[in-house]
Structure 1
C-alpha cells in the first residue's frame, strides 16, 4: 500500500544517520589524530592508529589531500573547501550497501584528513529489517484487524438488536427502533422489515385480546338472558313466549359468533378471495331488492349507471359489506326514511355514495363506528339486537377487495358512506 511504502521510506531515512554518540566518538578520534599529528610525533600517531584498528577491527589512517592540477588548470575555492576523501559523519549512510563507508574527519586547514572505515558497531540501520517487517507486516495486520473490528461492530449491532427484539417480542415487552433501522443497506432493510413485522404482530395480538374480551362481554348478555328464560319456562305456564325468546337469543348468539369469527379471519390474515368478474350495478340492484322486501316503507333515490363492470374482486365479500351498510342505513332512517345511493366511475375506480336521512353521528364518535362491538347509546336503543360488528365487518371486507370507505355526516343531515373500489380492469393482480 502507498501508506506503508511512504512509512517505510521515512523509517529508512531516520535510521540511515549515524547515532549521535557514535558521531561524537568519531569526532573525538579525529581530534586526537589531529593532536598527535600536530605534535610531530609520527611514532605515537602510528601506534595510536594501530591500536585503534585492532580495537575496532577496521581500517584507519591520516592522509594528505594534495591534488595537483595539470595542463594549466586550477583548483577552485569551492572545490578546495568542499573536497573530501570520505563521507562526513553527519551524512546519511546507504543502508543497502554491504560495505561500510569510509568516514572523513578533516583537520584544520583542510589538507589533512583522518580516515576510518566505519566500525560495524556504529553502522546504523541494524533494526531496519525488523522495522520493514513491522511496517509491511504488523501495521497492515493491525489495520486489517481494526477495520475488521469496525465491520464486525457495524454488522453485529443490528444482529444484536434483532436478537434482543426477538426476545422482547417473545416476552411481550416493547422494543425501540435503533439507528440501524435508518441504515441505507440490506441490514437496515432487514431491521426495518423486522420492526414492521413485530409491530404488526403486536397489534394483531392486542387486537385478538381485545376481540376476545369484547366477545366474552357480548356473549355474556345473551347467555344471561337465555338462563333467565329457561328459569322462567320452568316456573311459567306459557312456554310459547319463552320458546320465542330462546329462539331470538340463540339466533343473536349465532350471528354474534359468526360475525366475530369472520371479523377475526379478515383482521389477522391476508385471505385469497375469489377473483370474480361481475357487474356492480347488478349486485347493488339485487341487494336493494332484498332490503326493500325487509323495509318496504323506505324510499330510495338511486343514481346508477346502466352497468359497472368490475374484475379481480370478490362478489361475495363485497356483497356482504354492502348488505351490512344498506341494512344499517335502513335501521337508523326511521320507519319510513329516505336513502340516497349513487355510483360513478373514474379512470380506474368506482365511487359509491350511500346516505340516509337519520340523525347522524356526533363528530367525536365517527372514528369509533368501525370499532368491533362498539354501539352508542342511541344505537342500542334503536336496534337492541345488534352486535356492533356490522360496520367493522364491512370495512374489513371492503379492504379485502382493495377498496376504501370514508364515513361522515352529510351537510343536509344523515350519515354518508363514500366507498372507493378499483375497477380491476387491466389489473392482473389477484387478491
Structure 2
C-alpha cells in the first residue's frame, strides 16, 4: 500500500477524534447524572420535614400544622403544603395496583433533577396510606448541579485538550524517531565521524524508506571518502619512487653528466608518472561514479581479433590457443571500456606466462569464448606460475603487486587489473579469477549480450 505514512497519520487522527467524541459525551452524561441528584443530607432534611408534617397532620392539630408550614416557607423562601389526593375512575373503571403504588403529585426525593429547567421541581413526601402528601418546592439551596457549567466546560475543554496532546505526542513519537536518527547521522557525517547504523525497528512507510536510502547514501559516502583517502595514500607512496629517480637524474644533468641514457631515463620516469596519474584518475572516476552503460553495438570477435594482433606483435614468442566463434554481438555496451579491460588482461597474461627460454614450457596463452542464453563467457588463461592463494583475493586491489611482479615489472603501477575490473563492471559484466589446476592464472569474464537489459547478476568477486 502506497503512502503508508499518510494512512498511519490519518488512522491516529481518526482514532483520536473518535475517542475524543465518545469520551467527552460519556463523561458529560456521567457528570450530569451524578450532579442532578439531591445531596444525601438534603434528602434527609426533606424526609424529616415530611415526617414532621405527617405527625402534625395525624395529631389533628391543623393550627400547629399551618403555623409550621408558614414558618418553613418563610425560612426556605419556598412553597410548601399538605394535600390529599383521591383519584376516582369513571365509567366503571378501576385503578391498577401499579398506578396506586406509583402515583405521585410531585417528584420523589431520590429522583434526579432536570438541571436544564430553570424552575425548581415540587418534591413529594407521601404519608402512610398513599392519599396524603407533603409537597414542597425544592429550596434553592438544595438544588443540585451548582457547578454543572464549570464541569461541562472542564469536560468540553480539558478532555479535548488532553486528547489532542495525546494525539500530538503519538505523532511526534512516530515521526521524531527517524528525524532524530537522520539528525544524528548528518551531524556525525558533517563532523567527519563514521555513521553508525542503529538497530531501529523496521518501518514500512515513507520515513522507513527514507532512512534506508539515507543509510545507503551515508555508507556510499563513507566508502568513497575512505577509498579516496586510501587512493591518495597509495598514490603518494607509488609516486615517491619515480620522483626520487627524477630528482637524481636532474641533479646529474645539473652536474654536467648529461648523456642519452640519462635523458632516456628521465623520459621513462616522466612517462611512468604520467601513466600512473592517468590510471589513478581513471580508477577514481570508475570507482566513485556510476558510469552510464554505453550505446555501442559491436562484434566482440572483431574487438578480440584487433587486440590479439597487437599483443601477438609485442609477444612474438608466445603460443596462442584461441577458440572463438565466428561472431559474438554485444548491444548497449562500451567498446572502448571493454577494449581497455581486455587489453590489460591479455598483456598481463602474456607477461606472466613462462619465459621464452624455457623450451619445455613455452609461454602459452589460451583464450576461449562460449555463448549462453543471455551472456558470453570469455576464458583467458596463461601457463605462468599463478598467484599464491593468500594473494589471490588482492589481485584486483589498486596498487597491489606481488613480490614477483615488483621484480619482473618494476615499471608497473599495480592498477592494470583494478582498471580492468572497473571497466568490466561498467558494462554490467563480471570477472572471477582462480589458479588453474594445471597451472597458470585463469580469468573468466562474463559479458551480457544486451547490457541495457541484463538477465542475470554477474559476480565481480575474486574466487580461489
What is the TM-score when the length of structure 2 is the normalising length?
0.85
Contact kept in structure 2, 1:87 and 1:103, CA below 8 Å: yes
- Give the distance between the partners of 1:211 and 1:321, measured in 2 at CA: 20
Deviations 1:105-130 (A, max 9, x none): 12334332211122233222333344
- Give the distance between the partners of 2:389 and 2:93, measured in 1 at CA: 117
1:222 has 2:242 as partner: yes
- Give the distance between the partners of 2:34 and 2:336, measured in 1 at CA: 88
The SS at the match of 1:104 is strand
- Mapping of 1:104-115 within 5 angstroms? 104-115=124-135
The SS at the match of 1:411 is coil
Contact kept in structure 1, 2:286 and 2:422, CA below 8 Å: yes
Quote the residue 1:387 is aligned against. 413
Contact kept in structure 2, 1:89 and 1:104, CA below 8 Å: yes
Q: Which of 199, 207, 211 pairs up with 2:231?
A: 211
Quote the residue 1:150 is aligned against. 170
- Give the distance between the partners of 2:367 and 2:335, measured in 1 at CA: 19
Q: Which of 114, 118, 121 pairs up with 1:101?
A: 121
1:356 has 2:376 as partner: no
Quote the residue 1:197 is aligned against. 217
The SS at the match of 1:278 is strand
- Give the distance between the partners of 1:358 and 1:19, measured in 2 at CA: 108
The SS at the match of 1:121 is helix
Q: Which moved more, 1:175-184 or 1:120-129?
A: 175-184
The SS at the match of 1:324 is helix
- Give the distance between the partners of 2:379 and 2:51, measured in 1 at CA: 115
Quote the residue 1:26 is aligned against. 46
The SS at the match of 2:386 is coil
- Give the distance between the partners of 1:179 and 1:108, measured in 2 at CA: 79
- Give the distance between the partners of 1:226 and 1:126, measured in 2 at CA: 103
Q: Which moved more, 1:42-51 or 1:386-395?
A: 42-51
Contact kept in structure 2, 1:405 and 1:418, CA below 8 Å: yes
Q: Which moved more, 1:271-280 or 1:281-290?
A: 271-280
1:397 has 2:458 as partner: no
Contact kept in structure 2, 1:331 and 1:382, CA below 8 Å: no
Count of residue pairs brought into register by the alignment: 428
Contact kept in structure 2, 1:348 and 1:425, CA below 8 Å: no
1:314 has 2:340 as partner: no
- What's the offset of the Cα at 1:283? 0.4
Quote the residue 1:326 is aligned against. 346
Contact kept in structure 1, 2:293 and 2:451, CA below 8 Å: no
- Mapping of 1:48-59 within 5 angstroms? 48-59=68-79
- What's the offset of the Cα at 1:164? 2.5
What is the TM-score when the length of structure 1 is the normalising length?
0.91
- What's the offset of the Cα at 1:87? 1.7
Deviations 1:213-239 (A, max 9, x none): 000100111222223344456679682
- Mapping of 1:69-218 within 5 angstroms? 69-70=89-90, 73-178=93-198, 182-218=202-238
Deviations 1:371-418 (A, max 9, x none): 110111122123222110001111111111121112222222222212
Query: Do the aligned partners of residues 108 and 217 (structure 1) sit closer, same or farther apart at CA in structure 2, a change above 3 Å counting?
Result: same
- What's the offset of the Cα at 1:134? 3.4
- Mapping of 1:364-383 within 5 angstroms? 364-383=390-409
Q: Which moved more, 1:315-324 or 1:268-277?
A: 268-277
- What's the offset of the Cα at 1:175? 2.8
- Give the distance between the partners of 1:190 and 1:181, measured in 2 at CA: 14
Q: Which of 432, 435, 446 pairs up with 1:420?
A: 446
Q: Which moved more, 1:35-44 or 1:21-30?
A: 35-44
Contact kept in structure 2, 1:181 and 1:191, CA below 8 Å: no
Q: Which moved more, 1:291-300 or 1:241-250?
A: 241-250
Contact kept in structure 2, 1:157 and 1:180, CA below 8 Å: no
Query: Do the aligned partners of residues 426 and 229 (structure 1) sit closer, same or farther apart at CA in structure 2, a change above 3 Å counting?
Result: closer
- What's the offset of the Cα at 1:133? 3.5
Contact kept in structure 2, 1:344 and 1:350, CA below 8 Å: yes
Quote the residue 1:288 is aligned against. 308
- What's the offset of the Cα at 1:186? 1.5
Q: CA RMSD in A?
A: 2.5
Q: Which of 333, 337, 340 pairs up with 2:366?
A: 340
The SS at the match of 2:431 is strand
